[in-house]
Amino acid sequence: MAHLSGHDRSQLLLLPEAVDDYVGPDNPVRFIEAFVDELDLAAAGFARVVPKATGRPGYDPADLLKLYIYGYLNRVRSSRRLEAETHRNIEVIWLLRGLKPDFKTIADFRRDNRAAFRPVFRAFVVLCRQLDLFGRELLAVDGTRDPRRSTTRTATSPAPHSPPLCSRQTRSWPGI
């Protein structure tokens, strides 16, 4: 009996033409979409909710917030990793409707709206608990600080009275 093998990559397939067909009706990204669409982002304290009349249009803060909520649910916190997800993950492509912000835009959004994230994430977690959607094991703490962490000064420089790293001479080794 032979092993299971995949399809030939050069074979033409009749795939669904809509991205919506790839995202099931019970997928968590649909809940993220509904949650963020119901928020009043201006009242929550997000910047640039009303676009400027001149200049290049920016990304909607609701779309970037959807990306961050998706990232926190799936343990993707880096702005560069979130950017990579916008190019390859079909759920994120559906969630952002094909938008592909770069890592700097994602990082700037986090920096500019740091104070507004906490109440929004708290409301999201409370709603998830009320609706019994996610278990508590998916909640994560971002930016924890460990006071026991070594600094580069203490980790790289030896103490002044410590012996050298190699105290033997290579000529005394047998066979050399």
In a domain, 161, yes or no: no
Instruction: Read off the pLDDT of residues 24-44 as tens digits, 9 standing for 90 and up.
Output: 899 999 999 999 999 999 999
Spatial CB neighbours of 16, under 8 Å, sequence gap ≥ 6: 22
Question: Residue 89: phi, psi to the nearest 5?
Answer: -95, 120
Question: Residue 97: phi, psi to the nearest 5?
Answer: 55, 40
Least confident of 37-41, 126-130, 150-154: 150-154
The percentage of residues in the chain with a pLDDT greater than 70, rounded to a whole number, is 66
In a domain, 117, yes or no: yes
Question: If 0-12 CB within 10 Å is exposed, 13-18 middle and 19+ buried, where does residue 130 land?
Answer: exposed
In a domain, 110, yes or no: yes
Instruction: Read off the pLDDT of residues 113-127 as tens digits, 9 standing for 90 and up.
Output: 999 999 999 999 888
Q: How far apart are CA 1 and CA 19, in angstroms?
A: 37
In a domain, 88, yes or no: yes
Q: Which among 70, 68, 72, 61 is positioned nearest to 39, based on CA atoms?
A: 61
In a domain, 162, yes or no: no
- Tell me which of 47 and 2 has the higher pLDDT: 47
**Over 70: is that where the pLDDT of 72 sits?**
yes
Residue 133 lies in domain: 19-141
- What is 42-64 written as a DSSP string? HHHT-S--SPPSSSS----HHHH
**Over 70: is that where the pLDDT of 139 sits?**
no
Q: Which residue has the tokens 């993950």?
A: 89
Taking the model in full, what pTM does it have? 0.69
- Tell me which of 132 and 13 has the higher pLDDT: 132
Domain count, the chain: 1
In a domain, 165, yes or no: no
- Do you know the residue count of the chain? 176
Q: What is the DSSP letter of 104?
A: H
**Over 70: is that where the pLDDT of 56 sits?**
yes
In a domain, 160, yes or no: no
pLDDT of residue 131: 86
In a domain, 6, yes or no: no
pLDDT of residue 83: 96
Instruction: Read off the pLDDT of residues 160-170 as tens digits, 9 standing for 90 and up.
Output: 565 555 555 55
